[in-house]
Amino acid sequence: MKKSIISILVFVIILTSFNFGSTVEGLYREKSYYDWVTKDGCNWYVVGPWDFSYNCLGYALDEPGGHPPTWDWPWGGANPTDDQMTEYLGYFGYEVYQGSYPDLITYDYPDDRSKVCHIAKRTAVDNIISKWGKLELIRNDDLDPFYPYGEYGRMRSMYKK
C-alpha cells in the first residue's frame, strides 16, 4: 500500500513538472481571465501560443517573412503618450489615420487615459490580432474588443502605413 502511494505521488510530481505554467486548454492563464479582458459578446481566439520573447508592439511591427518578432517597448516600464507612440511608429512608416481600414490600432491604459498600453494589427474588416504581453497571440472579432476599465482600455488611435 505504501509503495502504491509513493508511486502515485511520484507520478503526480512528474506530471505537474511538465505544466510550465499553462492552464486549461493550453492557455497561460485561466480562461476566465481572457473572458474578463474582452467585452461580452466579443469573441476571442488563440492563434499563437504564449511566448515570453515578444510583445504586442514587437508583433505589430513585424513584417511577414521578416525576422521573428521581438520584445519592443522603448519606454521601459512606462506607457507612452499618443505623441510618443506616433513618433515611434513614424520611424516604421506609420501615420495617424482617420479612415475605416487602419493597419494598427492602439488602446489606452485604464489607470491613465492619457497613456497607450496596447497595440494590435487589423487583419480583416472587424478583426484584430494582438500579442497580450507574455500571453498568447489573440484574434478578436471586433476592433474595440476590450472593457474600458479592464486590463487594456478603449480604442485610442489608428495608424496606416
| Tally of structural domains, the chain | 1
Q: Is residue 117 part of a domain?
A: yes
pTM (2 d.p.): 0.79
Structural domain contains residue 126: yes
pLDDT, block means (10 residues), the chain with 161 residues: 47 35 64 90 91 92 77 91 95 93 89 88 90 93 88 91 93
User: Is 4 domain-assigned?
Assistant: no
CA 152 to chain centre: 9
Inside any domain, residue 16? no
Query: What gap in Å lies between CA 54 and CA 80, rounded to an integer?
Result: 18
User: Does residue 138 lie in a domain region?
Assistant: yes
Residue 5 lies in a domain: no
Q: State the cell numbers at 25.
A: 486548454
Which domain does 64 fall in, by range?
A: 22-160
